[in-house]
Structure 1
Amino acid sequence: MDETGFSNKGLAKRMRDLAQQRGSTLGTTHVAVQRWRDGAGIRAQAAAIMADVFGSKLGRRITPGDLGLFGAPEPAIPQPVAYAAVLPDALTALEGLSEERPEPESASLLIIPDGEINAAVLSWMVARPDGVQADRHSSQRVGMRDVRAIQTATEMFMRLDFLYGGGHGHKALRHYFRHEVLPLLNASYSEKVGHALFTVAAETAEVLGWMAYDIGNHGLANRYLLHALRLTQVTGDRMFGASVLANLSHQANYLGQTSRALQLARSAVEGAKGSATPRAKAMYAIHEARALSSAGDLTGASRAMNEAERHFEGATADGPEWLAYFDEAELIGEFSHCFRDLKRPAESLRFAEKAVAKTDPQYARTLGFCRMVLAESHILNGDLDSAIVAATQAVDEGESLQSARFLRYVTDFQQGISTHAGVPIVTQFNNRVSEALASLDE
């Protein structure tokens, strides 16, 4: 209480308010606070709420044991699934997530309900930055060297993800996040270091969410991404927060939830107005185009694609490292997806060919997607032979990808050519896929 400056009445009111936010009632008064300070017993629920109130004020996780309330066991309070009202809740939830194994395809449909998504987006949209709790009491001091180390590690895992798919590095990254990143958020640092630290922590959480998405565990991916969104509120990083919304839009579109995908993409566009670079604006716009293309809205998708192209033309080489992947090849690849979904054969083929030619091999998974879209574009144009050639090359070069998304591209293509099941080249391709899948299991 000395550290926070709380009075008995102030602490009591904050405890009542937090309990109300969580849907419960707490009748704490300043008299009760004084009794507890004098050594009276306290209920487990009240002890947990008190600890979270102190944690929110101090910007670090506080437990009843930290307050000397060792006789008050912590109750099993459900942690917020979506957007945490207070930062300590988000950090606790992220700590729990880092212990979860992302079983492939497990609970793939157990994603966050629309109501919670809408509440999370609205909370982020209207939130004021929490601010960094600088120079607080802690036995550990964090410097920019620590931040740079986390940034380097996160970039390394991003490269692994692009090369080999989300299944390759998720276990190692979540261990790193739990033991090397989260503890630093509760340490001591300057304002500048704290700002950089929360920024890179949000980026690392986002990469974990993306990996879980790529593996096929969509519920886990949703939670990582929404808690990453919450971390951006600490520093008020609207541009990166909007990129998290764009990623959620990408996932929703993948799952066929077109309305949610469109809402999230437009939330990204609106939420980052005035703070996003042209490259980021292009990325938000193309996700809107993807959603509109899935909905079959040619007019809307064309408008959004034109906006993306216009923004990208104004992009410079400067910008955050996390956005470096969004280059000309990435944009062209997204165009090819849009025209494929709009069933526009000529445009789909033209952009898919460009995407394959321009995509850097270091983005192996992206190149695999582009090759499969090229194959599908050939099918739209009635050219089975060319489609099989493109798809075979994608499988041959992508068999090491531990990516549920890439495998879905392949199986969707197989379903699309199933009407040609008796054709020898189709049989050969299906056999090649079976061999590639078998090699993944070895």
Structure 2
Amino acid sequence: MTNAAFDGLLTAAGYGNAHAAFARQLNHAGREQGAWRYDAASVYWWLRGRRPGEHVQEAMAETLTRKLGRTVSASELGFGASHSIGTCVYPASVDAAIDAVEQIWVTLTKHLQRQVDGSFDSGKALQAALGWRYDLPDQAVSRRGRQQVTSTDVQSLYALVDHFTDLDRRHGSGSPHTRAVMADLLGRQVGPMLRGTYTDPVGRDLMRAAATLAGQLAFMSYDAGEHAMAQHHVTLGLRLAKAGNDRLYGAHLLANLATQAVFLGHAREAARLAEAAIDGAGRAPATVLARLYATAATAYGQAGERRASQLSLKKAERFLGQADTELGPRWVGYFTPAHLAGAALRCLGDLRLYPQALRHAPAALALGSQNTRTRALHTTLVALTYARAGDTDAACAWSRTLVQDAAAVQSVRVRQRLRELTTNLRMYRASPQLNEALLALAATPAAT
């Protein structure tokens, strides 16, 4: 659908068939913001619904004001209210990615107290995978802006990533406060850095750091049930990772997108996303490949593809066995044998291979104290697998033990798994033990 208001203003100003000329004038109007590189393709996407940042809209209005000889306000451009996050499109350029991340951080900060409109779009997810995998690399990302950015500045961003990652794993992402704080920091600190002055090497590292922050906020949004917001951040993180020449983190983000698709029941699309991640990672460290193949195994398991799921699981186990001899990037350090065992428990359970699945239960629970949410997820999964296998005594026993773990986190994913467990237990004939377990589950704060 064409943005009729913007199209009409362009035509009235003589830019109807001269989109490249308008882009050049816009770049000139926004020169104080840095070296903008908008072109005719940028104008095309704005006409098709992509929403530029508010500072870009102001420059658009300024450009049209000069051309038309009358005042044009940003509200006349037809881009809608800032609370809409629009269509999740993989940005064609670094400038478009910077515009989009700034806009979405502002939106998230202003509207965390209510659900932002939108849902997961598996078609757009696959398009993002294709763009990340096959678009040409960015030749340069250096720019000139108001703020000088150094390597030391960029390193401080990685400390932010570590802080929010630890909070997320210990407490879950259900509280909007943590995401509000993170979005505010991104909007006030990282956004201006992206529009600052930096050399190409510093810029590449800045793109990698910003991609990591976007990826962390994406995962937190996914855990909180904000699936459109999560997909937007993964998509933009993919684009920033590509600008930073970080194919491994891009593959990791694509695997996260596959994990989200599995959660939402898009099994076949999830499998394609996981395979694209594996293909794009290339000759990656063993721990990275183990994580990617584990994701593929869960996607194939949900799809009922027994052979593909078990083959992916075997590859994940083999690669993780090689991990001691190969150091991977810092962000993959979380993936331990316990995480792989949890994936095995999940995919083999989905394939109804319950005895095989439950052999992984002890390893799935061998987690560090910082992995509170993962422990709750895995413990609930063990109980659920016993329930599906028909062993109600074991399912009830595990249901009682998981209450303490589940109560410690705020997570939509934990709540969803608790609901699945409750539904499965209710299928069996009532007994004092079963009633006790159901009452314990109903009283768990995470279940409400």
Same-fold call, TM cutoff 0.5: yes
Deviation at 1:144, TM superposition (A): 2.3
Paired residues of 2:248 and 2:281 also in contact (CA < 8 A) = yes
Corresponding residue to 1:340 among 345, 349, 353: 349
Q: What amino acid is the match of 2:56?
A: T
Q: What amino acid is the match of 2:265?
A: G
Q: What amino acid is the match of 2:166?
A: R
Partner of 2:203: 194
Are positions 1:76 and 2:78 aligned together?
yes
Partner of 2:445: 437
Partner of 1:12: none
Q: Report the Cα distance in structure 1 between the residues aligned to 2:121 and 2:16, rounded to whole angstroms.
A: 28
Q: Where do 1:29-428 residues align within 5 Å?
A: 55-56=36-37, 63=56, 69=63, 71=65, 72-74=72-74, 75-77=77-79, 80-98=87-105, 99-100=107-108, 101-102=111-112, 110-114=119-123, 116-134=124-142, 136-168=143-175, 169-274=178-283, 276-316=284-324, 318-356=327-365, 358-420=366-428, 422-428=430-436
Deviation at 1:96, TM superposition (A): 2.2
Q: What amino acid is the match of 2:17?
A: G
- 1:409–1:64 Cα change, 3 Å: closer
Deviation at 1:174, TM superposition (A): 1.0
Partner of 1:27: 17
Paired residues of 2:132 and 2:239 also in contact (CA < 8 A) = yes
Q: Report the Cα distance in structure 1 between the residues aligned to 2:87 and 2:224, rounded to whole angstroms.
A: 23
Number of equivalent positions: 400
Point out the more displaced range, 336-345 or 384-393: 384-393
Q: Report the Cα distance in structure 2 between the residues aligned to 1:421 and 1:91, rounded to whole angstroms.
A: 57
Partner of 1:37: none
Q: Report the Cα distance in structure 1 between the residues aligned to 2:27 and 2:389, rounded to whole angstroms.
A: 62
Deviation at 1:314, TM superposition (A): 2.0
Q: Report the Cα distance in structure 1 between the residues aligned to 2:116 and 2:376, rounded to whole angstroms.
A: 24
Q: What amino acid is the match of 1:249?
A: A
Deviation at 1:170, TM superposition (A): 1.2
Report SS of the residue matched to 1:256: coil
- 1:427–1:190 Cα change, 3 Å: same
What is the Cα-based RMSD across aligned positions, in Å?
A: 3.0
State the Cα deviation string for residues 113-172 of structure 1 (Å, max 9, x = none): 51x3332222111112224433x4333212222222211111111111111111242111
State the Cα deviation string for residues 255-282 of structure 1 (Å, max 9, x = none): 11111111101110111213x2111111
Report SS of the residue matched to 1:324: helix
State the Cα deviation string for residues 328-376 of structure 1 (Å, max 9, x = none): 11111111111111111211111012211x2112111111111111112
Point out the more displaced range, 146-155 or 203-212: 146-155
Report SS of the residue matched to 1:388: helix
- 1:437–1:268 Cα change, 3 Å: same
Q: Report the Cα distance in structure 2 between the residues aligned to 1:421 and 1:196, rounded to whole angstroms.
A: 59
Q: What amino acid is the match of 1:146?
A: D
Q: What amino acid is the match of 1:308?
A: A
Deviation at 1:305, TM superposition (A): 0.7
Paired residues of 2:144 and 2:198 also in contact (CA < 8 A) = no
Report SS of the residue matched to 1:420: coil
Deviation at 1:104, TM superposition (A): 7.5
Partner of 2:45: none
Q: What amino acid is the match of 1:28?
A: A
Structure 1: runs of 5+ lacking an equivalent: 1-18, 20-24, 34-41
Q: Tell me the percent identity.
A: 25
Q: Report the Cα distance in structure 2 between the residues aligned to 1:221 and 1:65, rounded to whole angstroms.
A: 28
Q: Report the Cα distance in structure 1 between the residues aligned to 2:169 and 2:408, rounded to whole angstroms.
A: 12
Q: Report the Cα distance in structure 2 between the residues aligned to 1:82 and 1:66, rounded to whole angstroms.
A: 23
Q: Report the Cα distance in structure 2 between the residues aligned to 1:238 and 1:247, rounded to whole angstroms.
A: 14
Paired residues of 1:252 and 1:260 also in contact (CA < 8 A) = yes
Q: Report the Cα distance in structure 2 between the residues aligned to 1:47 and 1:112, rounded to whole angstroms.
A: 35
Deviation at 1:185, TM superposition (A): 0.8
Q: Report the Cα distance in structure 2 between the residues aligned to 1:278 and 1:404, rounded to whole angstroms.
A: 31
Report SS of the residue matched to 1:331: helix
Deviation at 1:51, TM superposition (A): 6.5
- 1:343–1:372 Cα change, 3 Å: same
Deviation at 1:432, TM superposition (A): 2.2
TM-score (norm 1): 0.82
Q: Report the Cα distance in structure 1 between the residues aligned to 2:139 and 2:164, rounded to whole angstroms.
A: 28
Q: What amino acid is the match of 1:55?
A: W
Report SS of the residue matched to 1:63: helix
Paired residues of 1:80 and 1:93 also in contact (CA < 8 A) = no
Q: Report the Cα distance in structure 2 between the residues aligned to 1:189 and 1:349, rounded to whole angstroms.
A: 52
Deviation at 1:76, TM superposition (A): 3.2
Deviation at 1:395, TM superposition (A): 2.1
- 1:105–1:175 Cα change, 3 Å: closer
